[in-house]
């Protein structure tokens, strides 16, 4: 019989029981009697997600892989309630800074209104290394919330990718480095404050920003049965602005 599991329980199982940091893997492509090791890092994220789904099945852990590709979450850990226990799977080359996409910026803004529980999704992040022989090893594994992997940039209140002057994606910061004094957001309310300010500063979402917070407040209270307060960015930005450089 399969069992439900929380993101924290899953993380502990992978790190403590399965000892994922001591496991090794490789990518092989076989056609006929010829096989080659695949070293392209752009396929690793998708493969790790598929591996995790298979690992969950073999561990007899109940879950639901999202049948809609490119829509969050990657995995529903509670398939009896699809409005909670969202799990997003991310991976990056640990020898470089994390550059994966957290979400498309405009989509995330609209989705928070339609599905406010998105803000509480968990992110299971694999930091991997691949050697010259194509052997992959998980160097580190994190379980984070979105506000724990983002911070302020020099030109924007939030770590984002900008394309032709317009914000296109929310991107992670290097949350585990000690090289800068800037810090990740302390709570989801501060993250949402920076997000709202980015909506205003971004030309493509400036008009939408004027109604965004009111709509989000209404949706959040309807779902959670309680209110959330997003502080003004001007009132909190000073604690995040020291050396705000990416």
Q: What is the pLDDT of residue 42?
A: 65
Using omega within 30 degrees of 0 as the cis cutoff, is the peptide bond preceding 73 cis? yes
Q: What is the pLDDT of residue 41?
A: 61
DSSP codes of every residue in 28-71: EEEETTEEEE---GGGHHHHHHHHHHHHHHHTTB--EE-SSTTS
- Tell me the per-residue pLDDT of 107-154, one tens digit each, with 9 for 90 and over: 999 999 999 999 999 999 999 998 887 789 999 999 999 999 999 998
Query: Residue 221: helix, strand or coil by DSSP?
Result: helix
Q: What is the pLDDT of residue 36?
A: 66
- Tell me the per-residue pLDDT of 208-225, one tens digit each, with 9 for 90 and over: 999 999 999 999 999 999
Query: What percentage of the chain exceeds 90 in pLDDT?
Result: 80
- Average pLDDT on 188-215 reads 97
- Model confidence pTM above 0.75: yes
* Among 148, 71, 87, 98, residue whose Cα is nearest residue 121: 87
Asked if the model's pLDDT at residue 182 lies above 60, the reply is: yes
Asked if the model's pLDDT at residue 231 lies above 90, the reply is: yes
DSSP codes of every residue in 166-198: EEEEE----TT--S-S----SSHHHHHHHHHHH
């Amino acid at each position: 019989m399969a069992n439900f599991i929380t993101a924290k329980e899953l993380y502990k199982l992978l790190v403590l029981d399965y000892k994922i940091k001591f496991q090794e893997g490789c990518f092989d492509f076989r056609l006929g009697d010829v096989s080659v090791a695949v070293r392209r890092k752009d396929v690793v994220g998708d493969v790790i997600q598929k591996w995790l789904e298979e690992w969950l099945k073999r561990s007899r852990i109940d879950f639901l892989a999202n049948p809609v590709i490119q829509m969050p979450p990657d995995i529903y850990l509670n398939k009896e309630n699809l409005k909670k226990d969202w799990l997003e799977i991310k991976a990056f080359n640990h020898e470089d800074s994390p550059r994966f996409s957290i979400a498309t910026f405009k989509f995330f803004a609209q989705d928070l209104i339609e599905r406010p529980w998105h803000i509480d999704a968990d992110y299971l992040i694999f930091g991997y290394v691949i050697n010259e022989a194509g052997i992959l090893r998980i160097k580190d594994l994190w379980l984070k919330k979105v506000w724990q992997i983002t911070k302020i940039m020099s030109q924007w209140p939030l770590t984002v990718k900008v394309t032709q002057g317009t914000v296109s994606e929310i991107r992670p910061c290097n949350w585990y480095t000690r090289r800068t004094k800037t810090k990740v957001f302390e709570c989801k309310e501060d993250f949402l404050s920076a997000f709202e300010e980015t909506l205003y500063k971004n030309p493509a979402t400036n008009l939408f920003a004027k109604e965004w917070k009111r709509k989000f407040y209404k949706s959040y209270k309807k779902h959670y049965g309680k209110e959330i307060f997003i502080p003004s960015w001007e009132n909190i930005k000073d604690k995040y602005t020291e050396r705000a450089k990416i």
